[in-house]
Structure formats: C-alpha cells, structure tokens
C-alpha cells in the first residue's frame, strides 16, 4: 500500500474561492460577511473535482490513500480576525470531510486550525474537537506563523502552544507543521516561506526541551524538512553546542519528514541522511510544483518514482510508503484495519 501523507484540496470547485473572496471583500469595506450557508457545493461537483484531478493521478501513479487537508496557501490566517478564520476553517474542513466520505477508500481528512495572529491558541480547540470526534480527522496542519511571513507568534516550544499540544496528545493526532500564504514581499510563498518555516520549526524544537514536556507529541515537517537534511551536520553541531542530546534521542522520536522533494538527488540525500523510520511518503500533488521535469519527462511531484528508485532496501521502502504512516498516524492505521486493510 502507498499512503501519501500530504495532500491538499487545491482543485476545489470555484464556488469555494468565490465565497472566500466575498468574505475578504467584506473585511475591506466593512459590509456584512457572507454566511456559510450561502456556499452551495453539491456532491456531484466534489466528485468531479476529485475524480478528474487527485483521484485520477493517484490511480495513474499507484497511490492508495491520501491524507487530505484544505489548500495550504488558502488558510491565510493573517486575513481578518479569529471569527473570519473560524468560519473559513469550518467550511474548508467540512469540504475535506465530504471528500473523504465520498471516496472513503482513497481519502482521509486532516484539518486546518482557525488560527489568528495574537489570539490564544486555545480558541482552536473546539474546531479540533469537532474534526477529530465528528469528522474522524487523523491529523491537523499547524501554522507556526499565522502572521503570514512576519513571525509574530512565539516559537513552537513556547507555552503559548501547550493547550493545543495537550489536546493533540490526548487524541494521539500528529501535526504537520505547515505555514500558509506569505504576505511579506521578501518571501515567496512556496519557494521561500514554506521551506524557511520547515527549517525554522526544526530549529525551534532543537533549541528547546519541548519533547520532554510532550514525549508523545508528533510533528511532521513537510517538503523534506526544508534545509534540515542538507545541513544535518550543522544541526548536529548546534545541538552539541547547546548541550542537547544527540539528535536521534533529542528529536527523532517525535519529528518526521515527508518526501515532498521534487528530484531524485534530493530524495537520495534524504534517505541517506535521515533514518528511514523518520521518513513518510508524500507528494503534495497538484500543489506548489505542477509541471513536467524536462530532464525526466515526468511530473516533478511524482515522488513515488524517486522513492522507488532510491538505493534503499525493500524493507525501508515499505516503511516509507506505508509502515511509518501507520505508526505515526495511529487513527489512520485504526481506520485501515477496521476496513480490513
């Protein structure tokens, strides 16, 4: 089985974006915001959006399951206030739940959180509870920078985040550390801000003792971990200078990296540097990089090809494609086992 732990609903029917534009316009001109009930997207529209896009590509590439969350760049937590984020998160999470309900053999939902800059993270807990208990979500996306590229929130090891971590541990739900749209002109959203955040999140954990307080907390750092695998020696040296334990003891019981790395040498480096038990298959298909690589003739985001071609053992490949995801996403594993898979 091939489990893709990093999928977003980037192909949602146009009505979703149109509703969001109305919501943003209402913030700007002070008019009443549109009601959630005004958004009408039928099941047939959702089926078409998925069957012609993600599901078609999954079948072509041999993927079985995708952990499916709202479009990352559309989370845009910097827009409006908590009420704006709360309404938007609820709409987007319901959409992914409906997709998972329509295609239960192929998609499982993961939630965005209704974060807002400067707002107590505990305000996210009701939506987290709804998504886990009512929708069966197996993971959440946690934005370490809801300001959109200005980094006004405390670091991930700050106690500000602890109410959320406590609930994640209680539910045994992992968090993918995933920023959203950049509103800082210095940082291109997918080319700079995403990778900056991946690296920053790892360093924030390294310089702290977060996992002493939360030994069962699980983070997935996407996009191959940003700069982390390439600079593994730097981070090992920094841990030493900060008098922290070896990285495998300090962080690797809690932090995992996905394979959203879009060329063979990148995956080869990832699998050589990072222990195989900490690598989860992912592609983020129809995401940041949608084109065809002229050097290979295949889509950049067809990461299954890279993992299949990597110089690793069959056992390691099985862990990356399936075993590690089942171990990290325990609710996903339980769902699959309940279905005899």
d(CA 109, CA 34): 25
Question: Any idea what DSSP says for residue 34?
Answer: P
76: region left, alpha or beta (phi > 0 left; psi from -120 to 50 alpha): left
Tokens encoding 53: 């896009």
Of 107, 124, 106, 103, which is closest to residue 115 (Cα–Cα)? 124
User: The domain containing residue 138 runs over which residues?
Assistant: 3-338
* CATH number of the domain to which 289 belongs: 3.20.20.140
Q: Closest Cα to residue 281, out of 332, 216, 237, 217?
A: 332
Q: Which residues are catalytic?
A: 284
CB 239 within 8 A of CB 246: yes
Number of domains in the chain: 1
Q: How far apart (Å, rounded) are the C-alpha atoms in residues 276 and 318?
A: 10
Q: What is the pTM for the complete model shown?
A: 0.95
pLDDT one digit per residue (tens) for the chain, 341 residues = 999 999 999 999 999 999 999 999 999 998 999 999 999 999 999 999 999 999 999 999 999 999 999 999 999 999 999 999 999 999 999 999 999 999 999 999 999 999 999 999 999 999 999 999 999 999 999 999 999 999 999 999 999 999 999 999 999 999 999 999 999 999 999 999 999 999 999 999 999 999 999 999 999 999 999 999 999 999 999 999 999 999 999 999 999 999 999 999 999 999 999 999 999 999 999 999 999 999 999 999 999 999 999 999 999 999 999 999 999 999 999 999 999 99
């Amino acid at each position: 089985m091939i489990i893709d732990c990093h999928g977003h609903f980037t192909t949602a029917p146009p009505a979703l974006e149109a509703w969001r534009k109305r919501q943003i316009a209402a913030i700007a001109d002070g008019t009443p915001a549109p009601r959630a009930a005004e958004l009408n997207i039928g099941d047939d529209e959702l089926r078409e959006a998925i069957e012609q896009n993600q599901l078609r590509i999954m079948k072509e590439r041999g993927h079985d399951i995708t952990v499916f969350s709202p479009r990352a760049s559309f989370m845009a937590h910097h827009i409006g206030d908590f009420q704006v984020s709360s309404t938007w998160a609820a709409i987007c999470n319901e959409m992914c739940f409906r997709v998972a309900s329509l295609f239960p053999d192929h998609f499982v939902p993961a939630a965005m959180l209704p974060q807002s800059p400067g707002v107590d993270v505990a305000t996210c807990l009701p939506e987290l509870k709804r998504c886990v208990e009512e929708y069966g979500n197996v993971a959440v996306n946690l934005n370490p920078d809801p300001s959109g590229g200005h980094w006004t929130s405390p670091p991930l090891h700050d106690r500000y985040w602890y109410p959320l971590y406590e609930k994640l541990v209680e539910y045994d739900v992992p968090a993918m550390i995933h920023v959203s749209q950049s509103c800082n002109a210095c940082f291109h959203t997918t080319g700079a801000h995403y990778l900056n955040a991946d690296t920053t999140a790892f360093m924030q954990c390294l310089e702290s003792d977060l996992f002493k307080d939360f030994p069962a907390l699980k983070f997935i750092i996407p996009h191959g971990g940003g700069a982390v695998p390439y600079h593994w020696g730097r981070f090992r040296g920094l841990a030493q200078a900060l008098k922290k334990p070896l990285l495998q003891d300090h962080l690797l019981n809690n932090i995992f990296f996905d394979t959203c790395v879009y060329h063979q040498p990148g995956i080869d480096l990832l699998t050589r540097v990072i222990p195989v038990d900490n690598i989860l298959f992912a592609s983020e298909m129809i995401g940041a990089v949608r084109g065809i690589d002229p050097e290979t003739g295949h889509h950049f985001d067809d990461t299954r090809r890279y993992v299949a071609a990597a110089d690793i053992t069959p056992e390691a490949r099985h862990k990356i494609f399936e075993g590690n995801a089942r171990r990290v996403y325990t609710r996903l594993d339980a769902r699959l086992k309940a279905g005899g898979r």
